[in-house]
């Protein structure tokens, strides 16, 4: 009897393992197929255009650039990702295919992020001062390579902190600054978000959310408390308007022909380590005091429902900022990422504004 049960157990285990292998094989097969389809869709004729992944050494660290555009004579846009440690390269196909026809878009995977992540990285170099130094070198590399006096810069979330500092310190290399998910006063933004979450949890009768939020209390937070805060921010739509997760984006990122599975591992490791290492410095950010003015044109692209980096505070910041030219654009169906939540309008707006702000050709 015991032998019979052992045999049955082994057969069940064998069947289960076969099923797992079949499912994994099917998933990998689908990924390969989808990657091939995406590669065809994303192909750019390099006669006049460019599609390139290149690693360059910046301040002693190899850092990756993804460069895409249908005409290399178009204006250059440097996209500075958020996180910190969260490059948007794996899912760029969701929000820039049309933009690439009018702009050459460059994604910079910062030190410790994405394909630029390495176990050997000195974590003590993950400082704002170091990122600014790296960013200036990236900008100057692009200016030299594409023989242009200036490039456009777009910062998203954490990237909006870095982007503003770059625009202040290196205006001679920047044509205009675009801020999306624009940071302002980090702790005040958290406080506004906390009040939003308490109200949503109370209105929806979610006792678990209320209990966990009251347990962490009002900001400022430790890193682990922030994880609780962001869990409920995602749940209640303060990160993605009308949604409770990024599952669709995550799935699409795994289908990217640009990233290998090893690259995805680096992406995950880099995001975790960068965010935890750099958290305290971000928490102290108050751009309203640190950067009250810029010598370059400024555009803020704000999601009306953004409680990750409060769009209300960002609009207050915009009102008092001094700049040669500035414009604020609201996205009524977006929270923190208008590029993903309203991608068609985002691309139209950015292409239009870049061509409005680019240097005018001299009249004959």
- The number of residues in the chain equals 364
* pLDDT tens per residue, range 127-186: 999 999 999 999 999 999 999 999 999 999 999 999 999 999 999 999 999 999 999 999
* pLDDT tens per residue, range 4-39: 666 565 556 656 666 556 555 655 566 777 678 788
Query: Domain residues of the chain, as ranges?
Result: 1-37, 52-185+246-357, 188-235
Q: What is the 3-state secondary structure (H, E, C) of 201-259?
A: HHHCCCHHHHHHHHHHCCCCCCHHHHHHHHHHHHHCCCCCCCCCCCHHHHHHHHCCCCC
Three-state DSSP at 50 gives: strand
Residue 337, class by beta-carbon neighbours within 10 Å (0-12 exposed, 13-18 middle, 19+ buried)? buried
The answer to whether the CB of 160 falls within 8 A of the CB of 321 is no
Q: Which CATH number fits domain 52-185+246-357: 3.80.10.10, 1.10.1040.10, 3.40.50.1820, 3.40.50.2000?
A: 3.40.50.1820
Distant-in-sequence, close-in-space partners of 221: CB < 8 Å, separation ≥ 6: 190, 229, 283
| 332, 337, 341, 343: CA torsion to nearest 10 | 100
Residue appearing with tokens 């810069």: 153
Distance of CA 145 to the CA centre of its chain: 25
What pTM, to 2 d.p., does this model score? 0.91
- Cα-trace Rg, the chain: 22
Q: Rounded to an integer, what distance in angstroms lies between the CA atom of residue 17 and that of residue 169? A: 57
DSSP 240-309: STT-S--HHHHHHHHT-SS--HHHHHHHHHHHHHHHHHHHHHHHT-BHHHH-SB-SS-EEEEEETT-TTT
* pLDDT tens per residue, range 272-311: 999 899 888 998 999 999 999 999 999 999 999 999 999 9
* Mean per-residue pLDDT of the chain: 92
The answer to whether the CB of 171 falls within 8 A of the CB of 291 is no
């Amino acid at each position: 009897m015991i032998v019979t049960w052992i045999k049955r157990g082994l057969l069940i285990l064998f069947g289960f393992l076969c099923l797992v292998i079949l499912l994994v094989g099917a998933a990998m097969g689908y990924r390969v197929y989808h990657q091939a389809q995406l590669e065809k869709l994303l192909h750019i004729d390099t006669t006049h255009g460019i599609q390139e992944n290149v690693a360059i050494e910046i301040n002693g660290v190899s850092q990756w650039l993804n460069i895409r555009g249908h005409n290399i004579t178009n204006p250059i846009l440097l996209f500075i990702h958020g996180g910190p440690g969260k490059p948007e390269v794996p899912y760029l196909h969701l929000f820039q295919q049309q933009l690439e026809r009018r702009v050459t878009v460059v994604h910079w995977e910062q030190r410790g992020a994405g394909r630029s992540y390495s176990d050997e990285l000195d974590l003590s170099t993950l400082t704002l001062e170091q990122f600014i130094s790296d960013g200036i070198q990236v900008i100057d590399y692009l200016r030299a390579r594409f023989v242009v006096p200036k490039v456009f810069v777009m910062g998203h979330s954490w990237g909006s902190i870095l982007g503003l500092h770059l625009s202040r310190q290196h205006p001679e290399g920047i044509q205009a600054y675009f801020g999306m998910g624009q940071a302002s006063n980090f702790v005040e933004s958290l406080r506004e978000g906390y009040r939003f979450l308490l109200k949503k949890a109370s209105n929806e009768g979610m006792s678990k959310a209320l209990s966990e939020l009251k347990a962490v209390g009002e900001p400022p937070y430790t890193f682990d408390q922030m994880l609780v805060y962001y869990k409920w921010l995602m749940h209640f739509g303060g990160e993605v308007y009308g949604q409770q997760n990024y599952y669709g984006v995550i799935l699409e990122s795994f289908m990217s022909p640009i990233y290998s599975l090893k690259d995805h591992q680096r992406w995950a490791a880099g995001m975790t380590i960068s965010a935890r290492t750099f958290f305290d410095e971000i928490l102290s950010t108050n751009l309203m005091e640190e950067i009250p003015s810029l010598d370059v044109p400024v555009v803020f692209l704000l999601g009306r429902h953004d409680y990750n980096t409060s769009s209300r505070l960002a609009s207050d910041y915009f009102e008092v900022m001094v700049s040669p030219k500035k414009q604020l654009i609201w996205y009524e169906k977006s929270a923190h990422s208008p590029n993903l939540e309203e991608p068609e309008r985002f691309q139209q707006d950015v292409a239009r504004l870049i061509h409005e702000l680019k240097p005018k050709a001299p009249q004959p």
